Amino acid sequence: MIDNEQNGAPFIQIADPIESGLLVTDSIITFHILAGDPETALLQLQCWADVGYGFVQFHSQNITSDSTFQTIVVPLSQAPNGDKFILKTIISDNNSTYEVINEPFSKHTQKKILTTTNAQFKNRNTTVPVQINVAERNKVTNDLYYITFNDTTSYHEKRFSVYNVSQGKYTVDNELLYTKAETKPFDGLTMYAEDVQTTMDSLFWKSVNNYQYRTSFSTVDIPSIDLYAYPNPSDYKIIYYDHVVDTSLSRFGATAVPVTYSIINSSTNEKIKFIADEGTSYLQRFLFVKIENSERYTWSLIIQPPFGKAENILPVAGDTFYIVTKKGLSFRDTIEVKNVALGISDLRNSLPQSMVLYQNYPNPFNPATVISYQLPAAGIVRLKIFDMLGREIAVLVNEEQNAGIQSVVWNAANCASGIYFYRLEAANNSFGSGTFVDVKKMLLLK
């Protein structure tokens, strides 16, 4: 809490916070809050979200200081999706603030996902699902973008960049990539990836003697010789022959030796270079991969005799060993995004050509209810309350608002039971015809 000596601090209490670990898919969520301030009747409420890269504000509204609980509506659809979603609510009187942080939960509200017509892999090596979402329709373009990934410069850390080919500049430059968390918006778009660290998935032998040799396939760092492993997201196979077919590398104290097997990258069909360490009861291989014209150490492979067999029982001609990896996003992947504005033009045309005024919730109510509405574009909005005789009871909104879902709370604590009407006017020059109006009724029961 931040305060000064002359001003009393505002306070907020949320009666029904979201349960920790809960999966939330609703676009709009309702809270009952107690908000007050010693001096100020009008307070500002802000909602912030953190899915891994820090808090970003996604909603704000004015509320009144009150000694009783009141209802607010939070448009969660405007916040990024993420498996670990942290919601922070801040109340302010322009001099001091008070904040409440909800326990982490999983938030996955529906998003407009681009199809392969507008977003697809130009180069794909990964097996993880990736989607490009429309976050802000009024900001998307028809430009051509390339999304690339960097997993080679930092150990177990991945970054991504978005290059705008049409404008010749980076929209996103080497930002951290968080798995199962929507990225910050770029030109009205976001990316969501269920990424994984590349690891071994499965190993199996095709052996002429039906042996299943004991095998280990992993990334092993060797700090003593400054050798650090890069988990290359590829599949491999080792084919054994009855004659010499390759020669190992002479590096880090190891001697180059002729070998009767070949190690193949099944994903690229390239022959792999390796260091061989061969004993009487084991075979160890240190595999290398070429990245940007330099060779990097990647996987360590150890082969031992089957359980219960003699120590000298090792692979023979005709044996083949297969390695399959779980492939996370890597430098081998590139996503192409293009013509997004054209791609969602049909969606834009299907949006209401006037505002959508929703039925208040709850209804009937006592004493507060939430009125929500959707605006297809920014404009001047007026929302008023009338009684059965047509008398104006309250003016809830009289300002310019952005497109999207808007919500406001009406506290009818000082009104009598009965039927009331709420009337919405939205003036929008983009439609060319001026003002649109809608009216709905609600019931106050005390």
Q: Is the pLDDT of residue 129 over 50?
A: yes
pLDDT, average across residues 126-155:
90
Q: Is the pLDDT of residue 281 over 80?
A: no
**pLDDT, position 2:** 41
pLDDT, average across residues 173-197:
94
Q: What are phi and psi of 106, to 5 degrees?
A: -100, 125
Q: Is the pLDDT of residue 152 over 80?
A: yes
What is the band of 440 on the pLDDT scale with cuts at 50, 70, 90?
very high
Q: What are phi and psi of 76, to 5 degrees?
A: -65, -25
Report the CATH number of the 11-107 domain: 2.60.40.2550
Tokens for 320?
């083949």
Give the chain's mean pLDDT. Answer: 87
**pLDDT, position 353:** 52
What is the band of 155 on the pLDDT scale with cuts at 50, 70, 90?
low
Report the CATH number of the 351-444 domain: 2.60.40.2550
Segment 70-87, tens digit of pLDDT: 888 888 888 999 999 999
**pLDDT, position 429:** 47
**Whole-angstrom Cα distance, residue 355 to residue 386?**
20
Alpha helices in 324-421 (DSSP H): 340-343, 345-350
Tokens for 42?
């009008």
- Single-letter amino acid, residue 322: Y
Q: Which residues contact 429 (CB under 8 A, 6 or more apart)?
A: 379
- Are 48 and 87 within 8 A, CB to CB? yes
Q: Is the pLDDT of residue 345 over 70?
A: no
User: Which of 159 and 94 is assigned the larger pLDDT?
Assistant: 159
For the chain, the structural domain boundaries read: 11-107, 112-197+333-348, 199-326, 351-444
Tokens for 103?
């326990």
What is the band of 388 on the pLDDT scale with cuts at 50, 70, 90?
very high
Segment 295-327, tens digit of pLDDT: 888 999 999 888 888 877 889 999 999 999 999
Q: Is the pLDDT of residue 349 over 50?
A: no
Question: How many C-beta atoms surround the C-beta of residue 23 within 10 A?
Answer: 11
What is the band of 350 on the pLDDT scale with cuts at 50, 70, 90?
very low
**pLDDT, position 62:** 87
**pLDDT, position 325:** 94
**pLDDT, position 5:** 47
Tokens for 227?
């050798």
Share of residues in the chain with pLDDT > 70 (%): 92
- 3-state helix, strand, coil split of the chain in percent (to 5) is 5, 50, 45
What is the band of 348 on the pLDDT scale with cuts at 50, 70, 90?
very low
User: Which of 428 and 153 is assigned the larger pLDDT?
Assistant: 153
Burial 421-430 (b: 16+ CB within 10 A, else e): ebebbbebee
**pLDDT, position 333:** 95
- Single-letter amino acid, residue 123: N
Tokens for 406?
């808007």
pLDDT, average across residues 201-213:
90
Share of residues in the chain with pLDDT > 90 (%): 52
What is the band of 430 on the pLDDT scale with cuts at 50, 70, 90?
very low
pTM: 0.72
Report the candidate in 103, 91, 96 with the shortest Cα–Cα distance to residue 66. 91
Residue 364: is the preceding peptide bond cis (ω within 30°)?
yes
**pLDDT, position 321:** 94
- Single-letter amino acid, residue 138: N
- Single-letter amino acid, residue 345: S
Q: Is the pLDDT of residue 441 over 60?
A: yes
| Topology match between the domains 11-107 and 351-444 | yes
